[in-house]
Chain A
Amino acid sequence: AQTVTQSQPEMSVQEAETVTLSCTYDTSESDYYLFWYKQPPSRQMILVIRQEAYKQQNATENRFSVNFQKAAKSFSLKISDSQLGDAAMYFCAYRSNSNYQLIWGAGTKLIIKP
């Protein structure tokens, strides 16, 4: 069975600086997707970034980028120029291509210091 591990329950960063959130996963499949979702205090689930496993190039969305290491089964999220609005819970998630169910990490609470 697939698992997703986020080993950082909480991270803090100074506004305008860069922070990296860690995520590792375990799977025997070769074709899958990885996601980072943001959940602010409003509790909406907001998709931050998505990575297809077959793509070697790391996904990027404005200030958000990932470091996808397929062999190491690692999928970290880098947030550049952190802003106060980035404060939220961040969840890493895995989804295989054969089953559309998302497997979730425990989440990392990101605190932005002004």
Chain B
Amino acid sequence: GAVVSQHPSWVICKSGTSVKIECRSLDFQATTMFWYRQFPKQSLMLMATSNEGSKATYEQGVEKDKFLINHASLTLSTLTVTSAHPEDSSFYICSANEPSRTGQPQHFGDGTRLSIL
């Protein structure tokens, strides 16, 4: 079945550094990808919708300059957390629509646990 690969699965870094998370669709082309943030024991919170070849659409309250999204190809979207601080520590999940299948199912990556020291 369709697979979305998200990398890295876990990253620990110092405050002030930038961290890039990759989301790849392995066997289908994804024109639309989504980035979520999940706090412990809470639901998924949509951060932004990433469209191939165009600017991402950010949800209200999400800082565009803090969370940079690039969707340069039909199989890859990246989320860069710039100048990360401890409050950015969270679980980040990406998903991708499979447009060629009926109903355009959405497939999820396994998530990235980000810890900022």
Contacts and interface: CB of A to CB of B under 8 A. Distances in A.
Contacts of B108: 44-45
B34 to A, nearest CB: 7
Range of interface residues on A (Cβ < 8 Å): 10 to 19
Contacts of A104: 43-44
B70 interface: no
Contacts of A44: 108, 110-111
Dominant secondary structure of chain A at its interface with chain B? loop
Contacts, number: 43
A33 B44 contact: no
Contacts of B95: 45, 102
Contacts of A52: 103
A45 B93 contact: yes
Sorting the interface of chain B by its residue count into under 10, 10 to 19, 20 to 34 or 35 or more gives 20 to 34
B93 A33 contact: no
B115 interface: no
Interface in A77-96: 91, 95
Given A44-B111, A52-B103, A106 B43 contact: yes
Interface of B: 32, 34, 38, 41-44, 46, 49, 91, 93, 95, 97, 103-106, 108, 110-111, 113
